[in-house]
């Protein structure tokens, strides 16, 4: 029971982060006041995830042109790397 609750919480949290990243992508195509409280909250919740990826892309000198690939990379990382890793760790500690 506890294991399924922990796994479900991890799944909901990662899905929520992916939704926030998707909202930020959509808002970037729409003219919205960057000083609005909704945008600032969205920015504060997603920027700690996106900023390190932008820095890594910059350090690797990858030319992405005018496109910001950090939301795509972050979403991929959350869904296909972090989620299975967390599931494995929970499985190790709770021996599923």
Domain ranges (residues) in the chain = 2-94
Q: Where are the beta strands (DSSP E) in the chain?
A: none
| pLDDT tens, the chain, 96 aa long | 677 888 888 899 999 999 999 999 999 888 888 889 999 999 999 999 999 999 999 999 988 888 899 999 999 999 999 888 888 887 777 765
Q: What is the pLDDT of residue 2?
A: 77
46 Cβ neighbours under 8 A, 6+ residues apart: 17, 20, 21, 24, 71
Q: What is the pLDDT of residue 66?
A: 86
* Of residues 8, 5, 38, 21, the one with CA closest to residue 75: 21
Q: What is the pLDDT of residue 96?
A: 55
Query: Would the pTM count as exceeding 0.75?
Result: yes
d(CA 40, CA 68): 19
């Amino acid at each position: 029971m506890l294991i399924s609750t922990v796994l479900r919480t991890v799944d909901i949290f990662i899905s929520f982060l992916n939704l926030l990243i998707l909202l930020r992508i959509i808002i970037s195509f729409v003219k919205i006041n960057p000083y609005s409280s909704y945008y600032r909250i969205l920015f504060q919740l997603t920027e700690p995830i996106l900023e390190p990826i932008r820095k890594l892309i910059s350090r690797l000198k990858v030319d992405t042109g005018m496109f910001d690939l950090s939301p795509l990379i972050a979403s991929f990382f959350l869904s296909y790397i972090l989620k299975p890793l967390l599931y494995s760790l929970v499985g190790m500690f709770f021996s599923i």
